[in-house]
Structure 1
């Protein structure tokens, strides 16, 4: 084998590893966890932050690997997933299972080293994602509701890692990211509707790209914005937002709502994709504003 072939093989293995663990998604989850940690901590422990990032990546990577093992026969049917490592034949089910199992053990162990509550919520996240959400995707649109639970845990998980406590503050962070999941995933379900249909996935609340689905997108977008603004009113314990940050969040929310209303108006894949991108921008900027607000107040 030539040096070029060896290098290509190495690149392929690395690429497959990134795909089986969905690296980009995993890193976004780690970002949420870190934001939650910074919100909850009094004095930053860099070692805890590193452990949270590593443990969080392991947990998400494990969930995604298990998911791709279970859905391998359906992934073959869809254009966006047919070239994943398992359906394409580049990775065996056994190899993927080893990665998933090792990541689960390492993830729970690393998070347990932070504190037991963090490990518990991490384990719950994997269990719900793999054992409930994944099989329900081909059965009922309610799968999005179930999937929103593990999807909302990372933001909350960071606070629990920082405080070893679950109360109103991490509960609020969970609620914000929970409601956010609906417009985000329904937007994805809308613009990938035909591809999901090939795999037999039911992602939209009415099962169709219709006015009913678009109405629910608007409703849950409003809930997302309302939940995001609750910390402004000083009713969420140590989690507090200044009115200035509240205004910034409101502006972001109106920006997101605009795309939700546009989806109701146009009902096309292009607008749905724009809503999905707007939702990603919303949750990312929201987390940055939450963290910046806390540290600016401490600095002033």
Structure 2
């Protein structure tokens, strides 16, 4: 009996809070949940604490589960790259079974919470989880089109908040979806540009042309341009209950121009420093744009 206990202790891999945060990518997960909260505030008629809690809890669980599944699937590839080799699973601090168990439990909790909120929200949450783990993740080593596929689950959270608040899908959440859909291309291609050498160690094909060249930079400019156009469409009164005042539209437009400026700088310089600036500008844009939309609704 003592031998069994000793052996179990030897091979037990405790799950620390830090490792849990890393395997679920807590920082990224919180930023995704923020998009859902913005969508909820835009769609709601009356604020409901229970609905809000179910959205935040269910959304965090599903996004965290997606990230945990991703790290289980890519554990061998993560071990090859500098930016990911110290993650809990490839470093050996967390077993595959433990990470998978966390992902499964969070999936169940997330889907149940969103289903209690309303079935449509749970359905879109499940679609996002499925596309991220079963389509985007395996395609990353196959084709640059993985970014296109990944843009679908990545664009759902902003839309999901509206559906959670209204239990309806229409032009309003569709517009929110399209804004975040087009935003992801310059964001992830800037990130892919910065980390291209490291990504290649894992066999990931993230840039549209496969190279850090003018072709990739030009596509970044094009998608940024369309992102700006779609972001101000609600000012024209053609997106149902989703409205944007003229001052708010001007502000969103200026924020977009700032991001477009860094996209052109990347085209001109074609270096990692410019790519990093664009990536940071894209993070600022999506956050500030959503805040402008929300504040504009309530003033």
Q: TM-score, normalised by structure 1?
A: 0.95
Superposed displacement of residue 47, structure 1:
1.4
Q: Corresponding residue for 2:4?
A: none
Equivalent residue in structure 1 for 2:112, among 101, 104, 109: 109
Match of 1:175 among 167, 174, 178: 178
2:146 to 133, 143, 148: 143
- TM-superposed deviation, 1:46: 1.4
Q: Deviations over 1:221-274 (max 9, x none)?
A: 001100101001000000010000000001101100000000000000011011
Cα distance in 2 between the residues matched to 1:51 and 1:164: 14
2:27 maps to which residue?
Answer: 24
The CA RMSD over aligned residues, in Å, is: 0.9
Partner residue in 2 for 1:56: 59
The structural deviation recorded for 1:50 is 1.1
State the number of aligned residues: 287
2:80 maps to 1:77: yes
Distance 2:284 2:205 in 1: 25
Where structure 1 has 5 or more consecutive residues not aligned to the other structure, the ranges are 1-8
User: Could you report, residue by residue, the CA deviation over 1:200-219 in whole angstroms, capped at 9, with x for unpaired residues?
Assistant: 00000000000000000000
> Structure 1 residue 89 and structure 2 residue 83: aligned?
no
Which consecutive residues of structure 2, in runs of 5 or more, have no partner in the other structure?
A: 1-12
Question: What is the CA distance between 1:18 and its match in structure 2?
Answer: 0.2
Distance 1:221 1:200 in 2: 27
Q: In the TM superposition, what whole-angstrom CA distance separates every residue of 1:13-64 from its partner, at most 9, and x where no partner exists?
A: 1110000000000000110000000000000101111110010000000000
- Aligned: 1:15 with 2:21: no
Partner Cα distance (1:103, 1:227) in 2: 34
CA–CA distance in structure 1, aligned partners of residues 273 and 173 of structure 2: 35
1:134 matched to which residue of 2? 137
Of 226, 245, 249, the residue aligned with 1:223 is 226
Match of 2:288 in 1: 285
Moved over 2 A (4+): none
